[in-house]
A and B are shown apart, each in its own frame.
Chain A
């Protein structure tokens, strides 16, 4: 029986440690993992807990990220609680198996510590890997800081494993900016945390020999579409009710409130920034500073990236006049994902705000308070003019002549 760890009410943890502690508390049956910067400490800490007797489950060392997710798929289909972690190139190598995991409806939890994709090689944080996973059929939750990384891990198991959902969940945190920044994290004691996550309840477990089940069969033109349609249907209709229930239960236990989208002072805002990761937190601070000067600024944080909260976004941004969408991934010859998807959510809305896009922070480039003030100022001009006063796609923080497109 694993030993318990007495935690302080507030521990000073970085995002990686926060994730590994939550994984330890969830009493996972199998972790199959291959380390890669900046997510390495997640599995390193976890291995440390295991070696010191704090974990009963199995830890499988594998030869690649493709094998890591393959191991997770096998263990999850066998009928256990399963999780792992990766970043960047490792995530890219995992992609083939990500689609297997979601298609087989396996409730695996994957910590993705976001990092740029090569070339050129870069170990720092941006959202390229996160964007690569967005059509993979996984649920994607987004942490803005280390506290979120801890909380969302506990929440993720409960959502993924719910029999109405049965879909894998990624928890995204910003490489280095969250994963290697130590800050105060409010904890739950081991018993409380496990009581919240609950016992794993198997469904169609392959180790249940009384009820044989098959995973990963071949379906051609005759059935493939029906399976994919059902998976999409469940993502669109089954996930939110369960997630909102779990968020409410978590709030009751901890006082910390999560929503499908983070609504920071949007109700009377004229200008809003839409962002993900640590930028949400910093933008909220900047919005508060601007409010003190009488500028009606707000922030929408993408807590849930997939399934994309289309209706909720249209609702919280319905009275805003200008929206600035911030993409931390090179769009590779297109508008940014957030620009496109937020525009899609708002196009049929009654007041149809002006939407502009920004590409920023690639390879860990700093998103500063000053840049955010400039983006709010752009948005305010758009709100006054009732139309875009800037190009639709601006690059922020890149050296050389100012880059604009569209």
Chain B
């Protein structure tokens, strides 16, 4: 079993990203959960979404989680959200930022000594999809860091997840996933 927590703003697609990941994982025969904390959060409010992935059927419905991966898809949330909550010693952080890793850690001392990866999902989303929806690029970055799936297999699976969209949007998402995969470090 491994667990992922997404930090996002409502409207940036963390729930869609978590569900997209779950769909891909499910096609490989593994078991998944994707959920979020809602409340009456409005567009732009900070929120969290979650994934569980396991080889066995998941019957744990507690919301509490001590994640292996923390994915931050809004650049400002490292300054306001409690993104290290309930983390493990070796939790990996993949953070959307235009800063390089050194400057990022300087700007947020909580990241000192943590396993941090940086990728500018926001710019990638704007360049490729044309909207500030940084969810699919974050999945590309996660594939690189976690090694969950080969990137080609993942992209092929995402084609199926995105099949309802026009070809232009699908192509843009594929480009975004690949760029984040190549650029995360």
Contacts from A to B (Cβ < 8 Å): 8, 10-12, 123-124, 145, 174, 176-178, 180-184, 278-279, 281-282, 284-285, 366-370
Complex A-B: 21 CB contacts under 8 Å: A10-B26, A12-B22, A12-B26, A12-B34, A124-B38, A174-B61, A177-B63, A181-B33, A181-B35, A182-B18, A183-B31, A281-B60, A281-B61, A282-B59, A282-B61, A284-B59, A285-B59, A366-B62, A368-B63, A368-B64, A369-B62
**0/1 per residue, B21-48, Cβ < 8 Å to A?**
0110011000111111011100000000
What's the minimum C-beta distance from A376 to chain B, rounded to whole angstroms? 15
Contact residues of B: prevailing secondary structure: mixed
Residues of chain A lying within 8 A (CB to CB) of residue B40:
123
- Write the nearest CB–CB distance from B25 to chain A, whole angstroms: 8
Nearest B-chain residue to A277, judged by Cβ: B61
Q: With A12-B26, A123-B38, A176-B38 as given contacts, are A182 and B33 in contact (CB-CB < 8 Å)?
A: yes
Provide the residues of chain A in CB contact with B62, threshold 8 Å.
Answer: 282, 366-369
Which residue of B is nearest A365, CB measured? Answer: B63
In this complex, the member of A176, A178, A182 whose beta carbon has the largest number of chain B beta carbons within 10 angstroms is A182
Alpha-carbon gap, A12 to B28, bound state (A):
12
Query: Which of chain A's residues have a CB closer than 8 A to the CB of B38?
Result: 123-124, 176, 180
Contact A183 B58 (CB under 8 A): yes
Which B residues are in CB contact (< 8 Å) with A182?
A: 18-19, 22, 32-35
- Nearest chain A CB to B15's CB is how many angstroms away? 8
CB distance from A237 to the nearest CB of B (A): 34
Closest A residue by C-beta to B35 = A181
Q: How far is the CB of A263 from chain B (nearest CB, A)?
A: 16
New A-B contacts (14) at CB < 8 Å, excluding given A12-B26, A368-B63: A12-B34, A123-B39, A145-B61, A176-B35, A177-B63, A178-B61, A180-B36, A180-B38, A181-B33, A182-B34, A182-B35, A183-B22, A282-B61, A285-B59
B26, B32, B39, B62 — most chain A CB neighbours (10 Å)? B62
**Residues on the B chain within 8 Å of A176, using CB:** 35, 38
B32 adjacent to A181 (CB under 8 Å): no
Please report the C-alpha to C-alpha distance between residue A11 and residue B19 in the assembled complex, in whole angstroms. 11
* B34 / chain A contacts, CB cutoff of 8 Å: 12, 181-183
| CA gap between A189 and B177 in the complex, in Å | 33
**With A180-B36, A184-B32 in contact, do A278 and B61 touch (Cβ < 8 Å)?**
yes
Q: Are A184 and B26 in contact (CB under 8 A)?
A: yes
In contact, B35 and A279 (Cβ under 8 angstroms)? no
B134 → chain A, closest Cβ, in Å? 20
Contacts of A278 in B (CB 8 A): 61
Across the interface, name the chain A residue whose C-beta is closest to B38: A176
- By beta carbon, the residue of chain B nearest A288 is B59
Please, which residues of chain B bring their CB within 8 A of the CB of A184?
A: 26, 31-32
Are B35's CB and A282's CB within 8 A? no
Q: Which residues of B have CB within 8 Å of A368? A: 62-64
| Set of chain B residues within 8 Å of A367, measured between Cβ atoms | 61-62
How many Å lie between the Cα of A281 and that of B33 in the bound state?
14
Chain B residues positioned under 8 Å from A11 (CB to CB): 26
C-alpha spacing A10/B24, complex, angstroms: 12
Residues of A within 8 A of B33 (CB): 181-183
- Nearest opposing residue in chain B for A371, CB measure: B62
Smallest distance from the beta carbon of A44 to chain B beta carbons, Å? 15
Residue of B with least CB distance to A11: B26
How far, in whole Å, are A288 and B149 apart by their CA atoms in the complex? 31
Cα(A285)–Cα(B23), bound, Å: 24
- Whether B26 lies near A145 (C-beta < 8 A) is no
Cα of A174 to Cα of B63 in the assembled complex, Å: 13
B4 to chain A, nearest CB (A): 13
Bound CA span A307–B176, Å:
54
Question: Given contacts A123-B40, A366-B64, A368-B64, are A180 and B35 in contact (CB under 8 A)?
Answer: yes
Query: Are B19 and A369 in touch, CB under 8 angstroms?
Result: no
